[in-house]
Structure 1
Amino acid sequence: MWYFMHNKNHSQIFSRTLAAACVIILSVTMAACGSDDDKKSSTNSASNTNGVQMAGVKATGEPGKKPTVTFHTPMTVVNNSYAVLQEGNGAALQKDNHICVQAVAFNAKDGSELMSTWEKNTPDCSMVMNEEGINKTYYDVIKDQKINSTIAFGVNDKNKSKTSYIMVLTLVSQSKSLTRAKGEKVKDIPADLPKVTLGSNGSPSIDFNGYKPGDQLVSQTLIKGSGKKVAETDTIDAHYTGWVMDKDGKPSQFDSSWSQGKAVQFSLQQVVKGWTQGLAGQTVGSQVLLVIPPELGYGNQEKDKIPANSTLYFVVDILYDYGETQTQ
């Protein structure tokens, strides 16, 4: 359980604008571009349809750049249909990598362009190259592709307006998510702070070291990563462990992604204020010690293993930054 997160529906955390929602048609829980009610019926329909080749759609232009797409209109679109429009000239896609895609969507009825991520250079990098992270129909299509490939997918949206789309995705880059913090160890850490020790796999343990918490947030970088700087509106992957002080003044662990064996993806807009404030400005690859006063944690609320008015202690490894979280 993610004790540090607000009590919100997980699906709401990663809700997207039209542009990003269309890009995420590849995800396991497929999203079409209609209303919430329309999405439910579209998802159910899509899950019962195998991918089929889509004929009549062509693309020209330099691979890796915004393609010029043509097709006859009006066009009948079969959900989950696809066509590889351009072969990539980059590296082959690697399993478990994060894949960034640029997207442009067309109305299948009249060919008009509905959205594009190219102009503002806002690729979506939420796709993870494995069958857990991508709808299997689409995974089978893209698994053997290369960077700069362009693929069209049909989205037959079962909404009230009966709108159908052709989503044209270009795979523009790939990168691996870190498995633990990686960077330079910080030397001048205040001697009175809690002491953190790492296991062989990177899992942290903590010694409070006689530390007396105050009413101010402590955000101490332990390892300084060289990656992207995190903004308070971003979504990230992280490993973490959290503790509170027990009645004997010793650490009592209440949650850890390490024990779950998998890093967690979350928005910094959906966590306690101490996480938002303490991780904003840190860089990917960094490990951060957070000491969060009750006012920036759960205040006088009791949360399962967390007593009311508790100071929260976290060690967080920042592994990947997806960029700004977009909400509807």
Structure 2
Amino acid sequence: MTSNARTHSILTRLAAATAAVALGLGMAACGGDSSSDASASASVSATTAELPKLEGVTASGKLGEKPEVSFKAPLSAENNAAAILQEGDGDALVNGNRICMQLTQYGLTSGEEVATTWTDDVPDCSLILDEDNLPGDASNATLGQIANQLLTGKKVNTTFAVTINDGNDEDQSYMLVATATSQSKDYEVAQGKAVTPPSDLPKVTIGDGGKPSIDMNGYKGSDKLVSQTLIEGEGPEVAEGTYGVVVNYTGWLLDGTQFDSSWDRGQTYDAVLQNMIQGWQEGLVGHTVGSRVLLVIPPDLGYGDQDNGEIPANSTLVFVVDILGKY
């Protein structure tokens, strides 16, 4: 297991321990949509809780690089104790932007580093800064709410620490040190350079609201994956190892029957790639944020011989996917 994968695994355990909604690549491991942020916001009371103060932890080193974190182990700290360790020197963090953070995890008992995203340089970009989604109860605050509170009004390269201590098992007592290394705004719709696809592929048109429609154009499918750029975006690339992407999409069978559409639900979809069908995992890699992509997925890279109700067994699937963000 790589250090990056191990970090994801540990953060998944943290999510279970703290019922976290946001912050941490593994914390959206089942996939989902942007409604999770809304539900978290709805649970926050009008009064913002004061978090327990984390004492005895310091950080040094060049801002924007992995900090040298010092504390005396074993460290006794309340659950959700937090502190700003380094004030950032970059641009001001903007409400509504996606915040990318490099994470390092330490055992409170051992004092040892458990895992880090710095090694593979694959930051966690799962947090959308939401100044209204703040802790209403410090003991039950999610990591996303804590991050919102600590990062509101701060700058890029700010480093903070938070402890997770459920009081049941020392192996579940950790400190997460996070550095906000960059920020970006998710696209609302694909935008960039239009690309003319081969004439024998299905023809895609876009309505006024942005939802795609399709004319199969006599297309009979392919026994190989087709991943055709329709719009080439200018954002970061969805690379091997990307944890998730924020998308709008519509899917059809080869006869033109629509079986699913995030557009119809009126909300984007957070697609954790490792949980998606193989055709999505392979077909979106190499494309950039802002892109619109036509995917033709043969059965062996889709649902194979499974009958999924609206998707019959051995179906070729056709998707149009707008890549609006990555994390």
Identify the TM-score tier after normalising by the shorter chain.
0.7 to 0.9
Q: Distance in 1 between matches of 2:309 and 2:6?
A: 25
Please, which of 144, 148, 152 is the counterpart of residue 153 of structure 2?
A: 144
Matching of residues 204-243 of structure 1 within 5 Å:
204-231=212-239, 233-234=241-242, 235-243=244-252
Partner Cα separation in structure 1 for residue 60 and residue 274 of structure 2? 40
- TM-aligned CA deviation for residue 148 of structure 1: 1.3
Q: In 1, are the aligned partners of 2:61 and 2:67 still within 8 Å (CA)?
A: yes
Moved more, 127-136 or 152-161: 127-136
With over 3 angstroms needed to count, the CA separation of the structure-2 counterparts of 1:291 and 1:309, relative to structure 1, is same
CA deviation map 1:126-161 (0-9, x unaligned)? 222233995334422222221111212122144534
Q: Offset at 1:198?
A: 0.7
Structure 1 stretches of 5 or more lacking a match? 1-12, 34-46, 323-328
Contact 1:294 1:312 in 2 (8 A): yes
SS state at 1:258 partner: helix
Report % sequence identity: 45
Asked if structure 1 preserves the Cα contact closer than 8 Å seen for 2:7 and 2:116, the reply is no
Q: Is the 8 A contact 1:50 1:137 kept in 2?
A: no
Give the structure 2 partner of residue 38 of structure 1.
Answer: none
Q: Secondary structure at the match of 1:182?
A: coil
Question: For the residues of structure 2 that align with 1:52 and 1:180, how far apart are their CA atoms?
Answer: 41
Please point out which of 16, 37, 56 is paired with 2:8.
16
Q: Match for residue 67 of structure 2?
A: 67
Residues 156-235 of structure 1 mapped to structure 2, 5 A cutoff: 156-161=165-170, 164-187=173-196, 189-231=197-239, 233-234=241-242, 235=244
Q: Is the 8 A contact 1:97 1:176 kept in 2?
A: yes
**2:311 is equivalent to residue 306 of structure 1:** yes
Larger helix fraction of residues? 2
d(CA) in 2 for partners of 1:51, 1:212: 59
Does the aligned pair in 2 maintain the 1:233–1:267 contact within 8 Å?
A: no
One-letter code of the match for 2:101?
Answer: V
Mark the structure with the bigger radius of gyration: 1
In 2, are the aligned partners of 1:26 and 1:135 still within 8 Å (CA)?
no
| Alignment partner, residue 258 of structure 2 | 253
Q: Which residue of 1 aligns with 2:21?
A: 28
Question: For the structure 1 residues 159 and 306, does the alpha-carbon distance in structure 2 shift closer, same or farther, using more than 3 Å as the test?
Answer: same
In the TM superposition, 1:106-117 aligns within 5 A as: 106-109=106-109, 111-117=111-117
For residue 146 of structure 1, give the secondary structure of its aligned residue in structure 2. Answer: coil
Instruction: Give the distance between the partners of 2:110 and 2:317, measured in 1 at CA.
Output: 56
Distance 1:110 1:218 in 2: 49
Which residue number corresponds to residue 36 of structure 1? Answer: none
Give the TM-score taking structure 1 as reference length.
0.75
User: What's the offset of the Cα at 1:77?
Assistant: 0.5
Look up the equivalent residue of 1:252 and give its one-letter code: T
Cα distance change on mapping 1:190 and 1:120 into 2, 3 Å: closer
Shift of 1:221: 1.6
- Following superposition, the deviation at residue 207 of structure 1 comes to 1.4
Instruction: Tell me which residue corresponds to 1:325.
Output: none
Deviation at 1:22, TM superposition (A): 6.1
SS at the partner of 1:118? coil
CA RMSD after TM alignment: 3.4
Mark the CA change 1:280 to 1:83 in structure 2 (over 3 Å): closer, same or farther. Answer: closer
Distance verdict in 2 for CA 1:228–1:209, change over 3 Å: same
Instruction: State TM-score, norm by structure 2.
Output: 0.75
SS in 2 for 1:275: helix
CA 1:83–1:15 in 2, change beyond 3 Å: closer, same or farther? closer
- In structure 2, how many angstroms separate the alpha carbons of the residues matched to 1:136 and 1:77? 19
Letter in 2 for 1:17: S
